[in-house]
Structure 1
Amino acid sequence: MLSTLTAIVLTVTATAQTSQPSASSAKVHGPGLYAIFQTNMGTVVCKLYDTMAPQTVENFVGLAEGTKEFIDSKTGQKAKRRYYDGTLFHRVIANFMIQGGDPTATGRGGPGYNIPDEIKASLKFDRPGRLAMANTGQRNTGGSQFFITHGPRSYLDGGYTIFGQVVEGQEVVNGIGRTQTGAQDRPVKDVVLQKVTIERVAE
């Protein structure tokens, strides 16, 4: 699945180390479901919108925790393991977004299936740190690839499912955005998503 990403259409296709909060840091942000992205450039905590985008969040959590079956992009075989750990942020555009979730790091990889869009008029790209699903430019073509924005991007409204919000570590997102990139906006030095941890904080 060939992916392209421009300043108008987002599709599937900073070097300083920062302190890394523990997974328990999600608790300070109140009850809810959180994804903790541990990267080689720092940690980002996102609150997941499991009531606004339940199918998207269920899919992301299942892939992250290794409970959801997928087709391995490299082997073509069915697999069930932690999908995101060790993958790269394969596309980075300064002052726009960082994109990950493709085990092949080509922009073409995915889980072997698509999920439906869950686009809500009440959720807009009106602030930094929106966590959203990438797609092919067509409806209902998300799978595993996601992006996190650097700032408001109203032209993305209505085109992509927003399923979370950065609540800690936006400076890490911005730092990744400043990394040097080469062909197809890929970082020259690998930005590794070392681990995604899902934390459930009770009332």
Structure 2
Amino acid sequence: MVVGGFFTTRNRDTGDPNSVPTPTATASSSATADASASPTVNAKQFAKAEQVIDATTKDYTATFKTSKGDFEIKLYADKAPNTVNSFVFLAQKGYFDGLTFHRVVAGFVIQTGDPTGRGSGGPGYSTAEEPNEIANKRGVISMAKAGDAKEFGSQFFINLKDNPSLDYTNPGTKYYPFAEVTSGMDVVDAISKVRVSGDKPVEPVTIQSVTVTEKAK
């Protein structure tokens, strides 16, 4: 079991958009990352994700309101029901409200979901990964995880381009998608273009709210 709340999601080489976003399972990150981490207003912790979705009868979408604008995502509840359930549970609890996109690598990914803003935080529990054959294409969203771990917390990344090196076909670490951006990709691109120090935005980009909508299939 990976300890919830202790995920760091730092790339081996954050300047290389082709490198894999391999996290390490430690509570600490580099001095530079700690010094530049933006404080967040949210440190909610949970023992587990309550069951809040019905993947057999309902479809789910979510709207992100950010300091750079809004974007909408479609959740793959049928392909990754436990992952989507965790995301929806956290969103309904207001977990993501006030968090920042703590990692931005232009031409690769933007990453969020960490209450510490340093790449080392999580929700207090972990969820087992759900293998699927969805590709990490531009706009597709996958969970970040610690190295070769088979479970994850609350951090996720949005692919800024097609990233086949992260796919299920990769012989190394695989990142399984659970959602995709359906509108507002221009906002995602705007977030990816903010000025950074290393891979951390100099001017924090904040999630103001995440609203989940469900409808019958």
Tell me whether the two structures share a fold, i.e. TM-score over 0.5: yes
Cα displacement (A) at 1:128: 1.2
Gapped runs of 5+ residues in structure 1?
A: 14-30, 67-81
Tell me, yes or no, if structure 1 residue 3 matches structure 2 residue 18: no
Q: Distance in 1 between matches of 2:123 and 2:65?
A: 21
Cα displacement (A) at 1:11: 3.3
Gapped runs of 5+ residues in structure 2?
A: 1-5, 25-57, 169-173
Match among 188, 201, 206 for residue 187 of structure 1: 201
Tell me, yes or no, if structure 1 residue 199 matches structure 2 residue 213: yes
Q: Distance in 1 between matches of 2:115 and 2:107?
A: 24
- Compute the RMSD of aligned alpha carbons: 1.5
Tell me, yes or no, if structure 1 residue 137 matches structure 2 residue 169: no
Taking the TM superposition and a 5 Å limit, the aligned residue runs for 1:80-91 are: 82-91=94-103
Match among 100, 103, 109 for residue 121 of structure 2: 109
How many residues matched? 168
Tell me, yes or no, if structure 1 residue 154 matches structure 2 residue 167: no
What letter is aligned with 1:41?
K
Q: Distance in 2 between matches of 1:124 and 1:52?
A: 12
The answer to whether the 8 A contact 1:132-1:163 is kept is yes
Taking the TM superposition and a 5 Å limit, the aligned residue runs for 1:15-164 are: 32-66=59-93, 82-121=94-133, 123-125=134-136, 127-158=137-168, 159-164=174-179
Secondary structure in 2 aligned to 1:87? Answer: coil
What letter is aligned with 2:61?
Y
Q: Distance in 2 between matches of 1:55 and 1:105?
A: 24
Corresponding position of 1:71: none
Q: Distance in 1 between matches of 2:149 and 2:132?
A: 14
Secondary structure in 2 aligned to 1:173? Answer: helix
Q: Distance in 2 between matches of 1:120 and 1:105?
A: 29
The answer to whether the 8 A contact 2:9-2:144 is kept is no
- Deviation >4 Å, runs of 4+: none
Corresponding position of 1:26: none
Q: Distance in 1 between matches of 2:190 and 2:214?
A: 27
Secondary structure in 1 aligned to 2:141? Answer: strand
Q: Distance in 1 between matches of 2:106 and 2:175?
A: 19
Cα displacement (A) at 1:139: 2.6
What TM-score do the two structures reach when normalised by structure 1?
Answer: 0.78
Q: Distance in 2 between matches of 1:54 and 1:112?
A: 19
The answer to whether the 8 A contact 1:114-1:140 is kept is no
- What percent of counterpart residues are identical? 40
What TM-score do the two structures reach when normalised by structure 2?
Answer: 0.74
Secondary structure in 1 aligned to 2:91? Answer: helix
Cα displacement (A) at 1:12: 4.2
Q: Distance in 1 between matches of 2:195 and 2:203?
A: 7
